[in-house]
Amino acid sequence: MTRIHLDHAATTPLAPQVLEEMLPYLTTTQGNPSSVHASGRAARSAVDAARDRIAAALGCAQREIVFTGSGTEADNLALRGVLERWGAERGRHLVVSAIEHDAVLETAHHLADTGLAALTVAGCDRECRVSPDAVAAAVTPETVLVSVMFVNNETGAVQDIGAIAEAVHRRNPDALVHTDAVQALGRLPVHPGALGVDLLSLSAHKIYGPKGVGALWVRHGVALAAQTTGGGQERNRRSATENVAGIVGFAAAAELAERVRSDESRRQAGLCARLTTAVCQRVPDAIVTAAGAVRAAGFASFAFPGVRSDVLLATLDMDGVEASAGSACGSGAPLPSHVLRAMGYPDGLAAGALRCSTGRSTTLAQIDAAAVVIADAVARMRVRAGAATAAPG
């Protein structure tokens, strides 16, 4: 069976040219970047060069980039680091949107539940759009940080981060604005200075780089408390020996993502439109979620009445199609999507979510084949559900 991978939003394969750049730092160049001997200096030079390359891709200063072990760590460093550094002076109020990745949403709830912060969760509309005015209305003189993601990881809906940042800063000039841009890099221009934010999170494995490395962009002049202490790496913002090979791979992947972004975004947008049309033709009551929003390329998301996501994913997997119900971090649990719930969908529909996400290797033939498999799987599940309902107790 030839498998069709439609879960690139969960992770992407390591690009061959990225692996090629990483190999020397996995094999022959093994120094610690903090060591002063020749091997250490070579490792430090590689990290510094990678930081410069990523800064060029983002249009920022290299000193503003903090390397982390993941996008999740970058999100945690933003929320916890700002709250710990500024909470006593500016207030302990956080504002996050209801459609955030769990790395932001669960962290914010934990901080509130443990009494370290007050929390306001800003909603969205039926199309997964977060209103700048609604976010600003939640801001108070005690607000220390606002976090709204750039591209939603379940629906692909793009938020107007520039307008949100402007509205927040107008309401409270001291409030800092963070955006999780993990799903945006490689799909949209990601220039944090132009967006007007103060902090921005990224992850390498979403852009054909290695797993286990991310970054937090921190606007120059914004101080935050380190959440890992020790040797003082990353300008005392994240102590730990740098993952040299991973950082080099991140830089190579970021440059590649920028080179192919325009062409790939156009191509993948067409593939997702074709998949959406084909699925809806075969399943007339399928709901295309966030259809009215501006969506990043590579996302086709649905809700199927009368279908459970966990069963659908297992069925598709057996039929050779790999997809997800939403965030890969939570899709193992058969729970209604918190994003669809925030969009106003009842639990029955929110529990029937399907996210298909394309990548550079996705072909037109795969899209056409996947549409048939998805429609057939939904039909078979409904037949089984009908038979179970009709069976005598």
In degrees and rounded to multiples of 5, residue 294 shows phi and psi of -70, 125
187-318-3 Cα angle (round to 5): 45
The pLDDT, as a whole number, for residue 335 is: 77
Going residue by residue through the chain (393 aa), what tens digit of pLDDT does each one get?
689 999 999 999 999 999 999 999 999 988 999 999 999 999 999 999 999 999 999 999 999 999 999 999 999 999 999 999 999 999 999 999 999 999 999 999 999 999 999 999 999 999 999 999 999 999 999 999 999 999 999 999 999 999 999 999 999 999 999 999 999 999 999 999 999 999 999 999 999 999 999 999 999 999 999 999 999 999 999 999 999 999 999 999 999 999 999 999 999 999 999 999 999 999 999 999 999 999 999 999 999 999 999 999 999 999 999 999 965 554 455 578 999 999 999 999 999 999 999 999 999 999 999 999 999 999 999 998 775 555 445
Please tell me the pTM assigned to this model: 0.95
Integer angstrom CA distances of residue 304 from 32, 210, 382: 51, 34, 10
Find the catalytic residue in 60, 124, 272, 329.
Answer: 329
SS (H, E, C) the chain: CCCEECECCCCCCCCHHHHHHHHHHHHCCCCCCCCCCHHHHHHHHHHHHHHHHHHHHHCCCHHHEEEECCHHHHHHHHHHHHHHHHHHHHCCEEEEECCCCHHHHHHHHHHHHCCCCEEEEECCCCCCCCCHHHHHHHCCCCEEEEECCCECCCCCEECCHHHHHHHHHHHCCCCEEEEECCCCECCECCCHHHHCCCEEEEEHHHCCCCCCCEEEEECCCCCCCCCCCCCCHHHHCCCCCCCHHHHHHHHHHHHHHHHHHHHHHHHHHHHHHHHHHHHHHHCCCCEECCCCCCECCCEEEEECCCCCHHHHHHHHHHCCEECECCCCCCCCCCCCCHHHHHCCCCHHHHCCEEEEECCCCCCHHHHHHHHHHHHHHHHHHHHHHHHHHHCCC
Cα separation of 233 and 231, whole Å? Answer: 6
Partners of 147 in the beta sheet? 96, 178
The pLDDT, as a whole number, for residue 331 is: 45
User: Using an 8 Å Cβ cutoff, are 365 and 4 in contact?
Assistant: no
Cα separation of 252 and 244, whole Å? Answer: 12
Cα separation of 178 and 224, whole Å? Answer: 12
Residue type, 32: N
Q: What residue ranges define each of the domains in the chain, with the CATH number in brackets?
A: 4-11+261-386 (3.90.1150.10), 16-255 (3.40.640.10)
Query: Where do we find the tokens 């009709």?
Result: 390
In degrees and rounded to multiples of 5, residue 374 shows phi and psi of -60, -45
329 is catalytic: yes
Query: Where do we find the tokens 């101080």?
Result: 223
Q: Cα(first)–Cα(last) distance of the chain, in Å?
A: 38
Q: Which tokens in the block code for residue 355?
A: 């996210």
Tell how strand 4-5 and strand 199-203 pair up: unpaired
The pLDDT, as a whole number, for residue 234 is: 96
CB within 8 Å of 308: residues ≥ 6 apart: 334, 351, 352, 381
CB within 8 Å of 114: residues ≥ 6 apart: none
The pLDDT, as a whole number, for residue 315 is: 97
